[in-house]
Amino acid sequence: MNSLRSALHELCGQFGRITRLDILTAMHEGTKQAICFMRMERPEQEQTLMKTLGVGRFGGEVVFVLDLNVPVTAEDDGPSSQWAESNFF
Range of the domain at 50: 2-87
CA distances from 54 to 27, 44, 51, 73 (A): 23, 15, 5, 31
Separation of alpha carbons 89 and 51, rounded Å: 24
Q: Which domain CATH number covers 60?
A: 3.30.70
- Tens of pLDDT along 13-71? 899 999 999 999 888 778 889 999 999 999 999 999 999 999 999 989 999 998 887 65
Task: Please indicate whether residue 41 or residue 83 has the higher confidence score (pLDDT).
Answer: 41
Q: How many structural domains is the chain composed of?
A: 1
Q: What is the pLDDT of residue 83?
A: 47
